[in-house]
A and B are shown apart, each in its own frame.
Chain A
Amino acid sequence: MDDILNDFVAEATESVSQLDIIMLELENNPQNSDKIQEAFRVLHTLKGTSGFLGLNRLQTISHAAENLLGRMRDGAIEAQGEVINTLLITNDRLKMILTNIEKTGGEGDSDDQPILKTLHDLANPPQASEVSEKTKVDMPSVPVIGGENLADKNDAKAEVSPKPLPAIRIHVESLDNMVNLVTELVLVRNQLLSFSKSEVTPESNQVQQNCFNSINHLTSHLQEQIMKMRLQPISQAWTQVPRMVRDLCNTLGKKIELTQIGEETELDRQIIEMIKDPLVHMIRNSADHGVELPDDRVKAGKSPKGLITLKAYQEGNYVFVEVIDDGRGLDPEKLKEKILEKGLATASELSGLSAEDINAYIFAPGFSTASAVTNVSGRGVGMDVVKSNIEKLGGSITIFSTPGYGTRFRIKIPLTLSIISTLIVAHGPNRFAIPQANIVEVMRLKSATTKLRQLNNKPVVEYNNSLIPLYSLKEVLALEDVSEKYLVVIHSDTAIYALQVAEIHAIQEIVIKPLNKATNVHQYFSGATLLGDSSVALILSPSGFAPKSDNNHQIYVSPKIDRPDPKTLLLTFRCNDVLKAVPLALISRIDLLPRDALSKIGQQDVVVYDEKLVPLSYLAHIDDDQDSVSVLILNHHDRMVVLAISEILDVVISEIQVDIQRTDDKTLGSFLLKGQPISIIDCEAYLKETLVNWEDHSVEINSSRGRLLLVEDSNFFRNLMLPVLKIAGYEVVDFGCAKDALTFLEKDQDFDAIISDIFMPDMDGCAFVQELKSRGGFDRVPKIALTALDSDRDKERIYLAGFDSHVIKSDQQSFLHTLSHILKTHNANEALNDQ
C-alpha cells in the first residue's frame, strides 16, 4: 500500500470512528443541527477523497449516507430510530472496507446494494414502510462493535498482505524539537571528532568535558521528546466504547448511561493498543453481569438507568483506569458456591478469606458467575485473560465490590514500557536491575540482623511490625558465594518481601530489552538491559520472587498492609563547602546546565530549562567563570523548581537518624554520614520560597513525640511529610489508601493521632473516619484531616464525619503546630482521666 493510501486509511478510520460518536449523540438529541452538519462534513470529505483515489465502494456509500444526512439537515427526516441504526450500520460497512484496504490494498467485492437501497429509501420517505422490512432482512440484528459481525465472507477471502506497521500522528512542533536536538547533537559530535585529532591540552580537556555535558543534556532531552511522542490520549482506546454500550443496551434490554472521565490522560501508544481488548471485555462484563435490568433496578430502589463510568488518571509513573458500575455488585455467597463447584478451593480454605480475596477468584481461569452464558460477555474465560494481559504490561488489576451497590475494577499500568528507573545491584560480576517503583527500602544487613527470624524453618525479617519473607539472591539464583550485605525490601502487587543482595551500585534509568525465547526465561527475570559499559544486566521481576500463596507463606505474609517508606535513599551533594542531602524520592531529575542558562528577571532568579523559564534557587555560590552548573529539579504537579548546587556526590542508603534538628528554615535537620555532618534540605521550603502560591509560615518546631498513623494517597506528599514528621520526633506508620490502614488497625490500634487526607480513591477520608467511629475503640484518638479542601462546606463535612481538626495541606508549619497542640491537649486529658 502506498503512502497516500496509508495516510488516507488512517485519517478515514479516525473520521468514521468519530461518526459513531456523533450518531450516538444525535440519537439522544435528534435536534442537534451542529452534529448533523458535522456528520455531513465528515461524509462529504470521505466521499471526495475516496473518489479522488478511485475507491468506488467508499465513494458510493458515503455519497448515499451524505444524501440521507442532507435530508436530515433540511429537516425532512428526523434523526432517530431506524435512521440512526442505518447510519451506524453504514459506518460499520465503511470501517470494514477501510480494514480491507489496510489489509489487502483493495476495497473487497461484497454487495453494497442492500445498504445503498436502505439509505436511498430512508432519504425518500414515501417508500419508508417498505424499507423498514428490507432493513430487518438485510441488516444484522445484533450489531457488534467494530463491525465484526458485519464482515463480509467474500471480503474475508481477499488475499491478505502483510499488515502495515501501525502509525501515529505526531505534531510538527515535536518533530521540529527533535530535529533541533539532533542538529545540536551532530554539532557536539563534530566538536568531539575534531578533538580526537588534536593534541591533548588542559584547555581541550575542559572543552571536551563540556561536550560530554552537552551530550548528557541533549540525550535526556531527546529521550523525553521521544517518549512524549509515543504518548497518546487514552481516549483512543475508548472510541468504540459508547457505540458498544449502546448496542449492548439494545441487545440486553437494559438502560445504561456511560460516563467518561479523564479521556485526555496520556499513555504509551503500545500500551493503549494492548489494553483495548481487556477494557472492552470488562465493560461488556459490567453491562452484562453488573448492571441490572430496569425492572430489577427499580425493585432495588435504583434508577432504571444504570451507570457505567470509565475513568483514567495518572499518578506518578502509573496510569490508573477504572471501570465502575452501579449494578448488583459481586455476591460473596454466590461466588463461594461457584468456587466450590469449580473445585478452586475447599470450604475450609474459603472460610478464612476476606470478601476481597473471594472477589479475586473471578480472575481464576474458566471462572464465570453468570447463571447463563450469554453471547455478550464471553464464556468465563475472560477475566483471567484480562488479568494476564495487564500483568504482561507490568500492570495489575484489583476489584472492589459492594453487593447491591456496584463494582469497581481498577487497572494500574506503567506510563511507558520502554524506560524505567531501577536500582542496580551486583553479585560478583553479575549485575541486576530492580524496578525502583517496587522498592520499599534498602538497608544494611548488619543493621537488620536483630530483626532476622526463622518461621516454619524459613527465614523472615521483621519489618514495620510484620514478618515478611526473606530471600537470598545468591541462593535463589544459585550464584557464586559472595557475602550479601544489603536487604532490599520489595513490594509486588501481591506481597512484600526482602531480598538479600551483595552490593548496591546506583540508581539508573534503563532501557528494557526482551530476552531470547530460547533462554527459557524463568519467573525471576522480566527482561534485560544494557549498562553504560555495554554489558548486559538482567531485570529482576518483583512478582517473580514474591511468595506464592502456599499455606506456609500465608501464615506470615501480610500483603498490602505495609506501605512503602522511601525515606532511606538519600542523594548527597556539596554546596560550596557544606554537605547536604535530600530524599531521592523528592528529586525528579539531576542535570548539568550551561552557566548562561541561569539569569535573573527582576528579583527572581530563573533558569532556561526544557525551553521554559523555571524559578531557580541557589543553594551554592556559582562563580561567573564556571562553564556549567549542577542542578537538582524538584517537580510537584505542574510546577518545577531548579536548585543550583556545587556538585553531586552520591546516592546513599541511610536511616535518617537526625542528630541535630532544624537549624534554619530550609534545613530539616543534620546527621553524621561517614563521620561528616550532613544537612537534609527542606524541599517544601524551597518550593514555597520560589513558587508564589506556596505561603510561608513560621511556627516553632514541635518537640513532642508520638506515634502517628498517616493516610495519604499522593506518593509525593507522603515522601514530603515523612521526613518532616520523623525529624520532628514522631514515629509514623503510613498508608497509601484508607482500606489498607483499616486492615492494619485491626491488629494495631496503638496510635496517638490519626492523620488522613480527604480526597482519596476507593475510600475518602470522611468514610475512613466514619468507619473508625463505627468500629469503636478510636474515640479518644485525635483525628486530623490534612487536606487541600478549605471551603466552609468542606470543613463542615469533615467535622461532621468525626475529624477533630482540619489543616491545610500546603502549610507544613501550621500542621506541625496543630499536631503538637492536639497531642499536648490529648495527653493532658488522658492524664486527667487516669487520675
Chain B
Amino acid sequence: MISNQAYNSHLDLEANQLCFRLSGQIFSVPLRLVHDILKLKHFRSTRLPLAPSHVMGLINIRSQIVAILNLEWMLYQTSEESKAIGLLIDVKGESYCLAVEKVLGICAHQSLPRQSMNIIPPTWGDFVDGIVNDDEGTVIQLSMENLVEHFLDD
C-alpha cells in the first residue's frame, strides 16, 4: 500500500489525485474529474454492437447513458480481468465510466518532482501528465483529456 503520507486527505480538487490499481500498476487521475465511484456489479451494462474495443458497454447512471471505457485496453491493448470499480469522470463536458480494479485513495503528488519519462512505454507519452515515486511504488498520473481525445479521434 501507498503510505498515508501520500494520501493527503485535504480535498483540494485541483491538486489532489485519485489513485487506483490496474494490471498491477498504480495510476491516478485528477480528483476534479471524478464525480462518483461505482461498483459495476450493481449496474446492468448494455453491449454496444460494433463498438471499438475500448468501449465495454453502456450503463444508466441517474438517467444518463454513459459509456464504460476499458482503461486496461486503452493502455495495454489487452484486457484480462473483469473490472469491479467504475470511476465516473467528466472529460470535456462528457461523462465516462472508467473501469479499474481497485481504488486506493486520494493523494496529493503535484508538488513532487516529475520523474524521467523514459520508463513509460513510448505510446503512453501523450497520456501521462507525470510520474511519482512513492514508498510503495510508482504512480502514473494520467491525462484523461489526452487519453479520451486520442480514442475519440481513432
Residues in chain A within 8 A of chain B (CB atoms): 429-430, 477-479, 513-520, 522, 524-525, 528, 530, 534-538
> B24: CB under 8 A from chain A?
no
With A517-B152, A535-B60 in contact, do A430 and B47 touch (Cβ < 8 Å)?
Answer: yes
Contacts of B67 in A (CB 8 A): 515-516, 518-519
Whether the Cβ atoms of A520 and B60 lie closer than 8 Å is no
Q: Pick the contact of A536 from B54, B65, B96, B154 — CB < 8 Å?
A: B65
Whether the Cβ atoms of A518 and B55 lie closer than 8 Å is yes
With A516-B67, A519-B55, A519-B67 in contact, do A535 and B48 touch (Cβ < 8 Å)?
Answer: no
> B10: CB under 8 A from chain A?
no
**Can you name the residue of chain A whose Cβ is closest to the Cβ of B47?**
A430
Whether the Cβ atoms of B63 and A535 lie closer than 8 Å is no
**Can you name the residue of chain A whose Cβ is closest to the Cβ of B97?**
A516
> B148: CB under 8 A from chain A?
yes
With A520-B152, A530-B63, A530-B65 in contact, do A478 and B49 touch (Cβ < 8 Å)?
Answer: yes
With A513-B65, A528-B65 in contact, do A518 and B49 touch (Cβ < 8 Å)?
Answer: no
Query: A241 CA to B50 CA in the complex, in Å?
Result: 45
Whether the Cβ atoms of A516 and B96 lie closer than 8 Å is yes
> B151: CB under 8 A from chain A?
yes
> B51: CB under 8 A from chain A?
yes
CB within 8 Å of A: which B111-154 residues: 148, 151-152, 154
> B78: CB under 8 A from chain A?
no
Query: A536 CA to B44 CA in the complex, in Å?
Result: 8
Interface centre among B67, B95, B154 (most CB of A within 10 A): B67
The smallest C-beta distance from B64 to any residue of chain A, in angstroms, reads 7
Q: List 20 A-B contacts (CB under 8 A).
A: A514-B65, A515-B48, A516-B66, A516-B94, A517-B94, A518-B54, A518-B96, A518-B152, A519-B48, A519-B52, A519-B67, A520-B52, A520-B152, A530-B63, A534-B44, A534-B60, A535-B44, A535-B46, A535-B60, A536-B60
Interface centre among B48, B67, B154 (most CB of A within 10 A): B48
**Can you name the residue of chain B whose Cβ is closest to the Cβ of A432?**
B49
Query: A534 CA to B152 CA in the complex, in Å?
Result: 27
Interface centre among B49, B54, B66 (most CB of A within 10 A): B49
The 10 residue pairs across chains A and B that have the minimum distance between CB atoms: A477-B49, A536-B46, A516-B67, A536-B58, A519-B67, A528-B65, A513-B65, A520-B52, A519-B55, A518-B152
Interface size on B, residues (CB 8 A): 26
> B99: CB under 8 A from chain A?
no
The smallest C-beta distance from B119 to any residue of chain A, in angstroms, reads 28
Contacts of B47 in A (CB 8 A): 429-430
Query: A233 CA to B71 CA in the complex, in Å?
Result: 47
Interface centre among B52, B64, B65 (most CB of A within 10 A): B65
Query: A794 CA to B58 CA in the complex, in Å?
Result: 59
Whether the Cβ atoms of B154 and A520 lie closer than 8 Å is yes
Contacts of B66 in A (CB 8 A): 516
With A513-B64, A536-B58 in contact, do A479 and B96 touch (Cβ < 8 Å)?
Answer: no
Whether the Cβ atoms of A518 and B51 lie closer than 8 Å is no
The smallest C-beta distance from B71 to any residue of chain A, in angstroms, reads 12
CB within 8 Å of A: which B49-80 residues: 49-52, 54-55, 58-60, 63-67, 69
The smallest C-beta distance from A533 to any residue of chain B, in angstroms, reads 8
The smallest C-beta distance from B91 to any residue of chain A, in angstroms, reads 8
Query: A498 CA to B120 CA in the complex, in Å?
Result: 51
Whether the Cβ atoms of B60 and A538 lie closer than 8 Å is no
Contacts of A520 in B (CB 8 A): 51-52, 55, 151-152, 154
Interface centre among A479, A513, A516 (most CB of B within 10 A): A516
Q: Pick the contact of B65 from A478, A479, A515, A522 — CB < 8 Å?
A: A515
The smallest C-beta distance from B8 to any residue of chain A, in angstroms, reads 31
Query: A519 CA to B54 CA in the complex, in Å?
Result: 8
CB within 8 Å of A: which B1-54 residues: 44, 46-52, 54
Q: Pick the contact of A537 from B46, B50, B95, B152 — CB < 8 Å?
A: B46
CB within 8 Å of A: which B79-95 residues: 94-95
The smallest C-beta distance from A531 to any residue of chain B, in angstroms, reads 9
Extra A-B contacts (9), CB below 8 Å, given A516-B94, A520-B151, A536-B60: A430-B49, A478-B50, A516-B65, A517-B94, A518-B94, A519-B48, A522-B50, A528-B58, A535-B44
Contacts of B96 in A (CB 8 A): 516, 518
The smallest C-beta distance from B141 to any residue of chain A, in angstroms, reads 20
Whether the Cβ atoms of A430 and B50 lie closer than 8 Å is no
Contacts of B52 in A (CB 8 A): 519-520
Interface centre among B54, B55, B59 (most CB of A within 10 A): B55
Query: A26 CA to B49 CA in the complex, in Å?
Result: 61
Query: A514 CA to B93 CA in the complex, in Å?
Result: 13
Contacts of A517 in B (CB 8 A): 94, 152
Contacts of A514 in B (CB 8 A): 65
Contacts of B69 in A (CB 8 A): 518
The smallest C-beta distance from A530 to any residue of chain B, in angstroms, reads 5
The smallest C-beta distance from B85 to any residue of chain A, in angstroms, reads 19
Interface centre among A429, A479, A528, A536 (most CB of B within 10 A): A536
Q: Chain B 93-112, CB within 8 Å of chain A: the 1/0 string?
A: 01110000000000000000
**Can you name the residue of chain B whose Cβ is closest to the Cβ of A480?**
B47
Whether the Cβ atoms of B50 and A477 lie closer than 8 Å is yes
Contacts of B59 in A (CB 8 A): 536
Contacts of A430 in B (CB 8 A): 46-47, 49
Query: A479 CA to B46 CA in the complex, in Å?
Result: 13
The smallest C-beta distance from A365 to any residue of chain B, in angstroms, reads 22
Contacts of A519 in B (CB 8 A): 48, 51-52, 55, 58, 67
Query: A516 CA to B58 CA in the complex, in Å?
Result: 9
Contacts of B49 in A (CB 8 A): 430, 477-479, 524, 538
Query: A739 CA to B151 CA in the complex, in Å?
Result: 47
**Can you name the residue of chain B whose Cβ is closest to the Cβ of A520?**
B52
Contacts of B63 in A (CB 8 A): 530
**Can you name the residue of chain B whose Cβ is closest to the Cβ of A474?**
B49
The smallest C-beta distance from A430 to any residue of chain B, in angstroms, reads 6
**Can you name the residue of chain A whose Cβ is closest to the Cβ of B49?**
A477
Query: A478 CA to B154 CA in the complex, in Å?
Result: 20
**Can you name the residue of chain B whose Cβ is closest to the Cβ of A523?**
B50
Contacts of B148 in A (CB 8 A): 518
Query: A535 CA to B61 CA in the complex, in Å?
Result: 10
Query: A516 CA to B52 CA in the complex, in Å?
Result: 12
The smallest C-beta distance from A502 to any residue of chain B, in angstroms, reads 13
Query: A672 CA to B130 CA in the complex, in Å?
Result: 72
Contacts of B55 in A (CB 8 A): 518-520
The smallest C-beta distance from A806 to any residue of chain B, in angstroms, reads 54
The smallest C-beta distance from B127 to any residue of chain A, in angstroms, reads 14
Contacts of A522 in B (CB 8 A): 50
Contacts of A538 in B (CB 8 A): 46, 48-49, 58
Contacts of A536 in B (CB 8 A): 46, 58-60, 65
Contacts of B65 in A (CB 8 A): 513-516, 528, 530, 536
The smallest C-beta distance from B101 to any residue of chain A, in angstroms, reads 21
Whether the Cβ atoms of A530 and B60 lie closer than 8 Å is yes
Contacts of A518 in B (CB 8 A): 54-55, 67, 69, 94, 96, 148, 151-152
Query: A536 CA to B66 CA in the complex, in Å?
Result: 10
Query: A428 CA to B148 CA in the complex, in Å?
Result: 31
The smallest C-beta distance from B33 to any residue of chain A, in angstroms, reads 14
Query: A528 CA to B66 CA in the complex, in Å?
Result: 10
**Can you name the residue of chain A whose Cβ is closest to the Cβ of B149?**
A518
Query: A538 CA to B96 CA in the complex, in Å?
Result: 17
Query: A516 CA to B89 CA in the complex, in Å?
Result: 12
Query: A537 CA to B58 CA in the complex, in Å?
Result: 9
Contacts of A515 in B (CB 8 A): 48, 58, 65, 67
Contacts of B58 in A (CB 8 A): 515-516, 519, 528, 536, 538
The smallest C-beta distance from A436 to any residue of chain B, in angstroms, reads 21
The smallest C-beta distance from B29 to any residue of chain A, in angstroms, reads 15
The smallest C-beta distance from B139 to any residue of chain A, in angstroms, reads 24
Query: A820 CA to B152 CA in the complex, in Å?
Result: 64
Query: A429 CA to B58 CA in the complex, in Å?
Result: 13
Contacts of B46 in A (CB 8 A): 430, 535-538
Query: A22 CA to B154 CA in the complex, in Å?
Result: 53
